[in-house]
Chains A and B, each alone.
Chain A
Amino acid sequence: DADVTQTPRNRITKTGKRIMLECSQTKGHDRMYWYRQDPGLGLRLIYYSFDVKDINKGEISDGYSVSRQAQAKFSLSLESAIPNQTALYFCATSEIFGDEQFFGPGTRLTVL
């Protein structure tokens, strides 16, 4: 089984809808991250979490919120989806900051 899983893998939604993307990991890592990938822009950090009690904004957090329900689970929510949030979203984990990150397979989100 994969160490970092994301659900759903693909989602199409409409403008204004609330949507949640979920991430689970079995690596036992405290650090978790949410990124979005857009063509030609690389990956940009949305939120990151030191542990269950510590959540921080990344470089593009506007329009997003997160919840760290447990060490193994980190969810990303779009409260009111808009078309420019159409992107590929990745969850990642690491044992410590500054070290290798392990990525999930991604969620392709389309907002119409």
Chain B
Amino acid sequence: GNSVTQMEGPVTLSEEAFLTINCTYTATGYPSLFWYVQYPGEGLQLLLKATKADDKGSNKGFEATYRKETTSFHLEKGSVQVSDSAVYFCALTLMRGSNYKLTFGKGTLLTVNP
């Protein structure tokens, strides 16, 4: 079946530090890949996505590149801010057949200190 594995948290960084959250996946076929972010007390919202190999998704200074050869979609940001403190979820979905559903990783809690 399909699965997503992301690095376990919590991750604690100082403001302006470099962020990487690793995400690897297992899927039959060619999935679309997503990063969702959940701020405290809120629902999930899409941060970025990539739909095919070598695509780079980017938003709010975050980036992730769809690497088919390593089945990875690592999230990076060059300089984090306190406001980036949240839980980050990597997810995948397949468009074909009945494999429509969004499969989530377990989430990674990021805390950024001033």
Which residues of A pack against B, CB within 8 Å? 4, 33, 40-45, 48, 58, 90, 92, 97-106
Contacts and interface: CB of A to CB of B under 8 A. Distances in A.
A90 B89 contact: no
Contact of A42 (B43, B45, B106): B106
16 contacts: A33-B102, A41-B106, A43-B102, A43-B104, A45-B101, A45-B102, A58-B101, A90-B44, A98-B32, A99-B32, A100-B46, A100-B49, A101-B46, A101-B102, A103-B43, A105-B42
B93 interface: yes
Contacts of B105: 42
Nearest to A44: B104
A106 B43 contact: yes
A4 B42 CA distance: 12
Given A103-B45, A104-B43, A105-B43, A42 B89 contact: yes
Interface string B91-103: 0011100001110
Which of A4, A40, A58 has the most chain B CB atoms closer than 10 A to its own CB? A40
Nearest to B34: A100
A97 B95 contact: yes
